Amino acid sequence: MKPEMITLKHGDTTIKMPAASLAKLAVASVFAQVLPPAANVQPIYPHSVPELGAVWPGQGGFNAGLVAARDDVPAHYLIVAYQDAGSHEWGGRGVEVKGISKTDGYTNAQVLIGNEDETKYPAANACAEYQADGHHDFYLPAAAELYHCWLSVPELFAKDTWYWSSTQRSTDNAFYMNFGVGFQGSSDKFDELRVRPVRRLFI
């Protein structure tokens, strides 16, 4: 059923709109004139986005910026944990883990932590165990997410070390990020490198 349309004319201008829309505009106009000035305030949004690198209150860490939607993951803000979660092996040397992504660290975490064999992945586990501000959904970032952090908030990371990503390169190696020079490379999964948990905030 088509909505009832109303045509408004003023001089040479003609506007055609649904009657319901015109009624809403009329009511809003009346309220704007009769309510006191205090009522004419800016809308209140549920989230106020902090500056890049600033603490995001209640979210477990720092604002690392907006990550664009990719595949089936909607756009979201990346939250970097308040602190590193120690130095750990990547784990699983000699094992080519199937389903590991270059961009989706959250999915990587599910694959590594939810594996059905007895292989251990200490770096991913350390991030999954991290908790802050009541949040328990942190994970080891993928290679692209670490690069995003280097572009957006490199000051949050130590410059004299290397940080594991959750992205493997081969059966024996996985990707890391050095924030001192912005270099991504790969290292033996037996090596103990620094890890920094992250989580997603969808708005």
Q: Quote the CA–CA distance of 123 and 127 in Å, as a whole number.
A: 7
> Does one domain contain both 79 and 177?
yes
203 residues of the chain, pLDDT tens digit each? 445 655 655 566 555 545 555 455 454 454 445 444 443 334 434 458 999 999 999 999 999 999 999 999 999 999 999 999 999 999 999 999 999 999 999 999 999 998 877 679 999 999 999 999 999 999 999 999 999 999 999 999 999 999 999 999 999 999 999 999 999 999 999 999 999 999 999 98
Angstrom distances, CA of residue 47 to CA of 42, 156, 168, 201: 14, 22, 35, 11
**What pTM, to 2 d.p., does this model score?**
0.76
Q: Is 48 a domain residue?
A: no
Q: Quote the CA–CA distance of 203 and 195 in Å, as a whole number.
A: 26
Domain range holding 69?
A: 55-201
> Does one domain contain both 32 and 59?
no
Counting the structural domains of the chain, the total is 2
